[in-house]
């Protein structure tokens, strides 16, 4: 399989890349790790007239952590984050999730920004960005803006990016004290896209009551879904096993409207969502109480 012909640009700086995008707009597509775009081009599902390869734009590949949290350049490879002790400390939910994405060979090339910009509803990173309340930095030749992950994902493989914009950076806020996290998914084989996945981040107050819950599900809609109703069941309450089960059931019945396909029926996805949400919340609350800190 071969892609339709295209013009190839390989800018060395962010300014050059943004200028190319400004000049060519909707005819051009940025190429990051190529792990989604190249297969789509080979299948002729995507036919960009111009490819702007970001591989040499070094200023887009970085990782740093400070009191505000973790900052990742869009071209940071998924595997580099997976192997980073800095990322493990600063954003443990993100770090725990990375091995669930595809296979090491794909994560060696695949980037954080490419996965977010691709916005596959079955991808792990969009749901994790939502659960972590990450902020995304978008740049174009004549401007820039920061937007929360909740506003970035706008539909099926759709984002708030305009054709002239690049996603340049992701900022993950530092977790407050007494925060726990967990990621759970079921895939038919390890490395396959998940049938359902759940990312949970919970914070307890000093009395052990639930102060904040961010629960995001993948593979259950047109994009990552924030389970707001489930979260509302928990906030202000002491999280008991019964309450966690009720919240998980709420996530599966009222927060999502999962599709059916050749891999799973809507009813099976709801069942998975209830079970995985219960497991994720249980583990996240254990960690928030200080009971279980080790990565799985």
Ligand X SMILES: Cc1cc2nc3c(=O)[nH]c(=O)nc-3n(C[C@H](O)[C@H](O)[C@H](O)COP(=O)(O)OP(=O)(O)OC[C@H]3O[C@@H](n4cnc5c(N)ncnc54)[C@H](O)[C@@H]3O)c2cc1C
Q: How far is the CB of 161 from ligand X (least distance, A)?
A: 5
Comparing CB distances to ligand X, the nearer of 225 and 231 is 225
Q: Which stretch binds ligand X (CB under 6 A): 5-13, 108-116, 144-152, 280-288?
A: 108-116
Are the CB atoms for 181 and 284 separated by under 8 Å? yes
Q: Is 61 in the site for ligand X (CB under 6 A)?
A: no
Q: What's 100's DSSP letter?
A: G
Q: Is 97 in the site for ligand X (CB under 6 A)?
A: no
State the Cα–Cα distance between residues 151 and 164, nearest whole angstrom.
18
State the Cα–Cα distance between residues 49 and 25, nearest whole angstrom.
11
Provide the token pair at 178. 């007494």
Q: How far is the CB of 193 from ligand X (least distance, A)?
A: 4
Among 41, 61, 102, 201, which residue sits at the site for ligand X (rule: CB under 6 A)? 102
Alpha helices, H only, the chain:
14-24, 37-42, 78-82, 85-90, 92-97, 104-109, 112-118, 124-131, 149-152, 228-234, 241-250, 266-288
Q: Is 216 in the site for ligand X (CB under 6 A)?
A: no
Residues numbered 131-170 forming contacts with ligand X, rule: CB under 6 A: 161, 166-167
Are the CB atoms for 89 and 65 separated by under 8 Å? yes
Q: Which stretch binds ligand X (CB under 6 A): 34-42, 140-148, 199-207, 285-293?
A: 34-42
Provide the token pair at 230. 């489930």
Residues numbered 69-88 forming contacts with ligand X, rule: CB under 6 A: 74
Are the CB atoms for 213 and 231 separated by under 8 Å? yes
Q: Is 231 in the site for ligand X (CB under 6 A)?
A: no
Q: Is 117 in the site for ligand X (CB under 6 A)?
A: yes
Among 12, 13, 25, 39, which residue sits at the site for ligand X (rule: CB under 6 A)? 39
As a 3-state breakdown, the chain gives helix, strand, coil percent values, each rounded to 5, of 40, 25, 35
Q: Residue 52: in which H helix or E strand, if any? A: strand 50-53
Q: How far is the CB of 52 from ligand X (least distance, A)?
A: 8
Q: Which stretch binds ligand X (CB under 6 A): 23-31, 63-71, 242-250, 274-282?
A: 23-31
Q: Is 28 in the site for ligand X (CB under 6 A)?
A: no
Give the footprint of ligand X on this chain (CB under 6 A).
29-37, 39, 74, 101-102, 106, 110-111, 113-115, 117-118, 123-125, 161, 166-167, 193
């Amino acid at each position: 399989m071969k892609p339709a012909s295209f013009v190839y640009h390989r800018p060395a700086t962010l300014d050059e890349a943004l200028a190319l995008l400004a000049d060519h707009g909707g005819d051009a597509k940025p190429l990051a790790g190529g792990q989604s775009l190249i297969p789509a081009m080979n299948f002729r599902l995507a036919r960009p007239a111009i490819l702007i390869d970001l591989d040499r734009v070094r200023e887009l590949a970085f990782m740093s952590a400070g009191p505000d949290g973790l900052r990742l350049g869009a071209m940071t490879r998924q595997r580099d984050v997976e192997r980073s002790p800095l990322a493990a400390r600063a954003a443990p939910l993100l770090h725990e999730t990375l091995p669930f994405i595809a296979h090491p060979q794909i994560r060696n090339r695949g980037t954080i920004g490419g996965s977010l910009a691709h916005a596959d509803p079955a991808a792990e990173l969009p749901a994790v960005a939502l659960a972590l309340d990450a902020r995304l930095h978008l740049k174009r030749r004549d401007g820039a803006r920061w937007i929360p992950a909740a506003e970035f994902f706008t539909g099926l493989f759709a984002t708030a990016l305009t054709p002239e914009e690049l996603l340049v950076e992701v900022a993950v806020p530092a977790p407050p004290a007494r925060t726990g996290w967990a990621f759970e998914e079921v895939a038919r084989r390890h490395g396959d896209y998940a049938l359902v996945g759940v990312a949970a981040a919970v914070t307890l107050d000093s009395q052990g009551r639930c102060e904040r819950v961010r629960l995001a599900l993948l593979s259950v809609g047109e994009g990552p879904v924030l389970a707001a109703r489930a979260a509302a069941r928990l906030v202000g309450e002491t999280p008991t096993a019964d309450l966690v089960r009720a919240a998980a059931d709420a996530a599966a019945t009222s927060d999502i409207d999962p599709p059916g396909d050749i891999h799973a029926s809507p009813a099976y996805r709801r069942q998975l969502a209830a079970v995985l949400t219960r497991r994720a919340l249980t583990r996240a609350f254990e960690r928030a109480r200080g009971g279980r800190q080790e990565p799985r």
